[in-house]
Amino acid sequence: MSDENEEGLLAGIIVLDMSQFLAGPMAALRLGDLGARVIKVERPDGGDLCRRLYLSDTEIGGDSTLFHAINRGKESFAVNMKDEADLQELRTLIAKADVIIQNFRPGVIERLGLDYASVAAINPRIVYGSITGYGPDNEWRHFPGQDLLAQARSGVMWLNGEADDGPVPFGLAVADMLAGNLLVQAILAGLVRRGVTGRGVHVETSLLEAMVDFQFEVLTTHLNDGGRLPQKSAVRNAHAYLAAPYGVYRCADGWLALAMMPLSKLAPLLDLPALADYTPDEAFLRRDEIKSLIASRLQQKTVQEWLDILEPADIWAAEVLDWPKLLQTSAFRQLDMLQTVTRGDGVSVQTTASPIRVNGARHKSGLAAPTIGSQSDRIRTEFIG
């Protein structure tokens, strides 16, 4: 195993995670997965609000499972932003950092004197990453930068569900996750550029920009299609712009996903000769009718019975797995994407590992999310004195 696998590609890079909730901490998590040292800067009185953002009634060692999932491997440095002595310590730490991530509401970071211009005066080599809800200077800038609200304003909800469902949100915090990933890309590019010029840079994105970018394919269609709105299928809809059979169907014992394919190829396999009579245009214009035929037929066999017919014919089909089924598959276990991480007080959490492999190996640190300020003294000794 090479040094890159043992230490990570970003070994030696110090990231100050001054963000909270999901989008910013997710970006810091990914940089940590790549080997950076991530120091979470949080309030001494309660820390990151995400510590109390419960997805269920489960807590581990006093913190939510969500906090554990998105802050594993980090150190915690407690700072009271309203105390000038604490702020001065933070500025000393900033002078020795490589990356800062912050997701304060527009205007707050300036009042703290920790905006990019102020930080760059302390450390001109800093790569400074910002995430907001809707951008730093438009008329929505003061709205709460929350995932569901960003989904609502982005138009994306009208792509989900079926024709009569109305807007349907994603069952995940997609705006936060996508914005975090975009910021990681920008920060990595900023670090590369700094290696060339020696100068830092301010990179930024927002939940809204991430959601608009997420829709670039279908939004481009809308912009160049006379402004027509997408029409969702009323039967087994999975994509507003794709023809039958694209969708998810109930079988005798579970659910089967069918992707795009010629109906003429599917017809003999499903013993539905009528499918071959539909033209490619009709596959979209009459998709509800076609998908109703397919849905009735697929209910007559089990998922595995259909896969035994469809897979040898190179039909794009897959069983719809829930988490227990996924975790039991050999394919998932072979990925080795789970790990148990442990905190200094002995609290252990089973969670996911980095989704990135370097030279064939997945970097795992084994460190759980920190308690508030648990590394403050060590960080002061190391960086502040």
Residue 272: exposure state from Cβ atoms within 10 A (0-12, 13-18, ≥19): middle
Would residue 281 show up in a list of annotated catalytic residues for this protein? no
Which among 35, 42, 30, 47 is positioned nearest to 7, based on CA atoms? 35
How many C-beta atoms surround the C-beta of residue 166 within 10 A?
10
Q: Which amino acid is at 208?
A: L
Contact 310, 271 (CB under 8 A): no
Which among 291, 287, 288, 297 is positioned nearest to 251, based on CA atoms? 297
Token digits of residue 156: 């994306």
Q: What share of the chain is helix, strand, coil (3-state, %, to 5)?
A: 45, 15, 40
Beta strand extents in 120-211 (DSSP E only): 127-132, 201-206
Which whole-number Å values give the CA distances from 332 to 135, 226, 257, 326, 359, in the listed order? 38, 44, 19, 7, 20
Nearest-angstrom CA–CA distance, 329 and 334: 9
Token digits of residue 232: 């969702």
Q: Which amino acid is at 62?
A: G
Nearest-angstrom CA–CA distance, 244 and 289: 9
Residues with Cβ within 8 Å of residue 190, at least 6 apart in sequence: 99, 127, 129, 200, 201, 203
Contact 319, 256 (CB under 8 A): yes
CA 89 to chain centre: 32
Which among 260, 169, 155 is positioned nearest to 214, based on CA atoms? 155
The alpha carbon dihedral of 27, 381, 97, 34 has a sign of: negative
* Options 176, 271, 308, 314, the catalytic residue: 176
Contact 205, 235 (CB under 8 A): no
Catalytic residues: 176
